[in-house]
Structure 1
């Protein structure tokens, strides 16, 4: 049975997050990076994602997980999938439609590429359109903060089911490391990050990384490089900062596997690639950030501005779902501009902190597409490399121009009446505008005659979003504490461009959540959009960490997700009728997720890390007739350190599991498998 393309969650949404989220923690030193607390206080990590100003994570009534840079380096987690593997209830399988450099994170059972917000050093990274994961820089990271659910006040309409905030070391500080690794499939990668010499009161740091990564599919490849320069200068009573980031991505994509009936087809080999000979996803991105903060009589005033320019050439093809061997090619050329401005004043009144601010996010995307419908037919055994698109006829020319503007004014109050209670409340007025022009020119023989169609539309939204939360520190004993909290969030998201305590050694947090999506827009078989869908996400998550000693940590996570359609009439093209899938489980949404790991990282001698992750049974389709079993994935490292130097053996997906982990929105009924086993030998240097 064939059905229309899956629900397009990036369209306009209205959502309400409600319920009771509770946290029980015995907060201690951050994993592998400790900052001692005064003896009479519980030690706690400091975060900025939920409030824009530094706050202890245990005093914020939202669900936030923090992954320290020390842990990332101990596990050699250099891409998003491994970086988030220890966060409860979050999946981030590598690859997807954006290429092998990307990933498809999911929160609370919603498996959509653009349902979350990616932030890097306080800047929405691709926030006006889609998360810019291929250009994300995970070198020289100080910590990663993961906020579950929407951030309706701080980030408004650009965040929905979660925020991943990557924070690098500030100017003048760095991890002070360098490494080089060689892997199977002729792979190599390296990185370096150091604080540069000071010039008077000017502080600076520099980080660079690059890789050439092969895969089991001999044509699939990643070749990329990333640079980050950070500078800071004391000016008057304040601080002026400047960041310059550059990314060069050269991906050769794999081909997704087509679903045939209730399972993935076996008529194509495991790693067959049906893309044209010149297939590639090439991106050049430059970004400049300038910020200034200074004290005033009413508080600290901070302003941050960012300017980003990206150019992408995207050439590939997708097999027809009938498995006839026919393929449609696409040759896309697009330019994306992303500009961001935020200014806010943080004032302290006794036990209260008042944050008042405004921000502006501007995005412009322009894309020209040269399509070859039925451009070639190839044998399904993958034995033939298709010709390049330069030798194939073009029978469809498309053009898209999209301007997006997100503006907001926000107020958030954080009141701590005593050492036990914390009340946080905020409201934001969102003004969004989307102006879009689309044209499509089709040529014979794709259509009997030359046909041209164009459409222009704009949409404005003005509406508030709110958050309200309260936390109660019910028990404190030295470094140990227990905190209960609950919060309510109301948010929306417009469309994206469719392109047991013992001296503070144990920490754990648990949450239950309930989120409703309404007014979801889905695409009909004719390509038109209609309001047709609603969803409900609910479940519970547990995240625990036990520090046996300073260099030995054990972690364990479990999540139960119940993500279902509450309203959706799916069009079945075979039956030529609509099918009601209300009550069905969302595609690729497992009920059970779990992970466990051990991190042994002494300063000298042998060291090792082991992380096991499990994803339970799920469905490939909306009608829940195509189930796929659960899988377990294992990542491990084994090394030896002497002085400044370390030699290690590392493996990702060492058991070589190859289940489907993400769906293609370009190829009908097509899915991407987990990457095959990757092995590395790594040599590293670190300042002590």
Structure 2
């Protein structure tokens, strides 16, 4: 309630700024401050693959500069969501991460490599196919552009929800450097530096950057006597800029990033009744083993996992960008090779019992991409045209092994009298640990992806105020995969039906190929010199895919090959907006309304088999997201900067009649008449109609607001300014399950961050900061245990953290 009151008060204050006398037109414009890119600044972006002023671009795009990233502590994409309410990010480990915009992007749940993200991530114009890169700390970033809505014309078929376009600092022909050190509670240390300068005057320049961060975990494992869910990042980047001629620049870049934390766990949150027999729900199963979680309060942050944890990953690559000014425009070539190595270890039963003792899917990927485009202007026309080619090869060698507790946990012990921990009959396989102990599936998974595209976009200035912008893109996509699961038991004998029901041998080779044609059309009109109105229609696609996480089984425990492929998504998108500036550009107010419908939405479906590693993919008939966004930035008086970003998003399944059922309707016997939700031993429907329900992961209301006040001051003989800053965010309740469940809704919450610092005119700065200042308890994600036991686990958000940052530049 306090957070909501503060949010509404701040919103009203921000909107009321237009009446403040300090906006008199004859007053000297206030100087820039690092809170946000301010209304007086001409913010240059490259959202349309050419340099343009932000307020002149008819796209819903937000820009976060390096100074704002530093000031707000937005060191990665998860932190970025606290100042960009239309951007959502969820991660249970780096591989199982998803970035969504307006509720769309990637299926909610465990990652399936056979499909692509709906939010494209681009760093220095190179497409990053692994969303895991967003879990790393930003390194030497100049600005980040968050483009909302389909960007298929210029950014490709993997951007049906939007794109995150990151630009790092370029090499300089003047010597310059930056460095910072941060220390904080939870043993947090972050250090980084970058240097740039000439090697040969006006011909060859370099830039190098490095950063290292580590933070103690926020969850304590009583089994290993260690803190887990820690942070551990290393980033290295180098660039060479060669001015080969007056018209030709070549930039060679290389980067290497590594994480090696003891991570990642989700811990006990609550229990919810399912349709499974009572003795096979979590409480009954735990009683049979005399087991209890170390705490039933998740904010005690305790776990007892008995499987080693690891979230090791390496990401890196090399890119060559050539920019040749020729004729009326620039010819740009971007060639890149990237790799990703992933070495995990997880405890997928979320308990200290030896149920699943091994769960790991190490993976290695190489990708190659080439883009060639020409952008220029001629008379009243601006244009971009080009071609793109991409090839990816990925190899995963997964393993899952069951332990001595698996038989009782996963198999039916028969009719057990109330209060009894025995089996009936006592000879039931569930009473014999040897039935599943040592049951192991070793998976060999291959993926090869080829993507080719040609694209063009034209901007026609019909008059000095009216502009028309059509764009097209044609894509060809081909995916070939192989999934082989070899299952053995602990005795070396043929598998029994019980064993095949938990881990089934599978072997299939899915393949998908298709052409698609994307296009968009934008009309924009300058109502005045400082008011731009625009409207856009876009028809976009996300490539079809293949299931590479194992398939559901039929009655004979054989894979259902009919669901080996997933149809493409078809997107129809409408958007209209206003970009406005007032009072000598000291107040900027941008408003966007949008309506997006997707047919054949690629959704995660929870597999009904008990021991399967993860869900598979299916197509929901239709989903829709609609809403509006408001961005306000103001400088009412000298030294004071204020901002407000708000979003209302109504994202729901329009039609999904054969969806997976929520846990309260799952786990029961099959029958013609389903029981009421949460009826132990009841009847479960084979599927559920969730039409009209929320899409997971998106709040209807979300906002971010804050400001900074800086006062010139001489301190310790140094001229500079003292500043006080405040940033807050709020999001309302959202669903954390593909099919909305009463057990996995996450309550709304608000977070508040403060900072106090002193900047010296020659580039020094010292800042004390506190994040989640009021120590709000909240969850980033909730999930359910496989097998419909009713156990709900979650990942608590960070507690209150605080520290001191010292940075300098020269």
TM-score by length of 2: 0.72
- Aligned match of 2:244 in 235, 239, 242? 235
Residue aligned with 1:571, SS: coil
- Aligned match of 1:605 in 713, 718, 721? 721
Deviations 1:78-117 (A, max 9, x none): 2223334322422346x42327xx9643321347474311
Establish whether residue 686 from structure 1 lines up as the match of residue 809 from structure 2.
Answer: yes
The residue aligned with 2:608 is 525
The residue aligned with 1:563 is 651
Deviations 1:317-355 (A, max 9, x none): 12269x977345312221011221100112322021121
Residues 1:639 and 1:277: Cα distance change in structure 2 (over 3 Å): farther
* Cα distance in 2, alignment partners of residues 287 and 72 from structure 1: 24
* Cα distance in 1, alignment partners of residues 83 and 457 from structure 2: 30
The residue aligned with 2:79 is 82
The residue aligned with 1:552 is 640
Deviations 1:601-660 (A, max 9, x none): 568232232111001122344245344421001122212234543222222222222322
Establish whether residue 122 from structure 1 lines up as the match of residue 125 from structure 2.
Answer: yes
Bigger relative contact order, structure 1 or 2 (CA pairs below 8 A, ≥6 apart): 1
Contact 1:111 1:588 in 2 (8 A): no
Establish whether residue 108 from structure 1 lines up as the match of residue 102 from structure 2.
Answer: yes
The residue aligned with 1:489 is 538
Residues 1:185 and 1:591: Cα distance change in structure 2 (over 3 Å): same
The residue aligned with 2:189 is 188
Contact 2:36 2:643 in 1 (8 A): no
Structure 1 residue 371, shift from structure 2 partner:
1.3
* Cα distance in 2, alignment partners of residues 496 and 452 from structure 1: 18
The residue aligned with 1:171 is 171
Deviations 1:548-586 (A, max 9, x none): 356431011221111111112233333143221101112
Residue aligned with 1:74, SS: helix
* Cα distance in 1, alignment partners of residues 273 and 769 from structure 2: 36
User: Is the deviation greater in 210-219 or in 649-658?
Assistant: 649-658
- Aligned match of 2:462 in 417, 427, 452? 417
Residue aligned with 2:55, SS: helix
The residue aligned with 2:312 is 282
- Aligned match of 1:337 in 358, 363, 366? 366
Structure 1 residue 492, shift from structure 2 partner:
1.5
Residues 1:249 and 1:602: Cα distance change in structure 2 (over 3 Å): farther
- Aligned match of 1:97 in 83, 93, 97? 93
Query: What are the residue-to-residue correspondences of 1:65-464 with 2, within 5 Å?
Result: 65-92=62-89, 95-98=91-94, 104-110=98-104, 112=106, 114-126=117-129, 130=131, 132-135=133-136, 138-172=138-172, 176-200=177-201, 201-217=203-219, 218-236=227-245, 237-257=247-267, 260-261=271-272, 267=296, 269-270=298-299, 271-276=301-306, 278-297=308-327, 299-319=329-349, 326-327=355-356, 329-374=358-403, 393=438, 395-444=440-489, 447-448=495-496, 452-464=505-517
Structure 1 residue 61, shift from structure 2 partner:
2.0
User: Is the deviation greater in 501-510 or in 671-680?
Assistant: 671-680
* Cα distance in 1, alignment partners of residues 207 and 805 from structure 2: 24
The residue aligned with 1:19 is none
The residue aligned with 1:625 is 742
The residue aligned with 1:12 is none
Deviations 1:504-541 (A, max 9, x none): 11112111111111112443536665434421101111
Contact 2:452 2:475 in 1 (8 A): yes
Contact 1:274 1:319 in 2 (8 A): no
Structure 1 residue 441, shift from structure 2 partner:
1.1
Establish whether residue 579 from structure 1 lines up as the match of residue 685 from structure 2.
Answer: no
Contact 1:275 1:318 in 2 (8 A): no
Residues 1:34 and 1:189: Cα distance change in structure 2 (over 3 Å): closer
Structure 1 residue 444, shift from structure 2 partner:
1.5
- Aligned match of 1:654 in 773, 777, 802? 773
Unaligned ranges ≥5, structure 2: 1-17, 24-28, 109-116, 220-226, 275-281, 283-292, 407-436, 550-580, 610-614, 669-683, 713-719
Residues paired across the two proteins, number: 634
Contact 1:117 1:131 in 2 (8 A): no
Contact 1:293 1:303 in 2 (8 A): yes
* Cα distance in 2, alignment partners of residues 488 and 230 from structure 1: 39
Establish whether residue 506 from structure 1 lines up as the match of residue 587 from structure 2.
Answer: yes
Deviations 1:457-490 (A, max 9, x none): 21111010011111111012xxxx1111111111
The residue aligned with 2:796 is 673
Contact 1:87 1:543 in 2 (8 A): no
Contact 2:30 2:637 in 1 (8 A): no
* Cα distance in 2, alignment partners of residues 160 and 143 from structure 1: 22
Residue aligned with 2:525, SS: strand
Residue aligned with 2:303, SS: coil
Residue aligned with 1:252, SS: coil
Residues 1:83 and 1:190: Cα distance change in structure 2 (over 3 Å): same
* Cα distance in 2, alignment partners of residues 34 and 326 from structure 1: 50
User: Is the deviation greater in 280-289 or in 70-79?
Assistant: 70-79
Contact 1:88 1:543 in 2 (8 A): no
Structure 1 residue 419, shift from structure 2 partner:
3.1
* Cα distance in 2, alignment partners of residues 97 and 673 from structure 1: 13
The structure number with the bigger radius of gyration is: 2
* Cα distance in 1, alignment partners of residues 385 and 133 from structure 2: 28
The residue aligned with 2:409 is none
Query: What are the residue-to-residue correspondences of 1:1-16 with 2, within 5 Å?
Result: none
Contact 2:725 2:755 in 1 (8 A): yes
The residue aligned with 1:9 is none
Structure 1 residue 277, shift from structure 2 partner:
5.3
* Cα distance in 2, alignment partners of residues 619 and 284 from structure 1: 32
* Cα distance in 1, alignment partners of residues 42 and 51 from structure 2: 12
* Cα distance in 2, alignment partners of residues 223 and 60 from structure 1: 38
- Aligned match of 1:56 in 50, 53, 57? 53
* Cα distance in 1, alignment partners of residues 37 and 748 from structure 2: 39
Contact 2:36 2:68 in 1 (8 A): no
Deviations 1:158-180 (A, max 9, x none): 11212111111112179832111
* Cα distance in 2, alignment partners of residues 428 and 535 from structure 1: 23
User: Is the deviation greater in 106-115 or in 650-659?
Assistant: 106-115
User: Is the deviation greater in 575-584 or in 111-120?
Assistant: 111-120
Residues 1:196 and 1:362: Cα distance change in structure 2 (over 3 Å): same
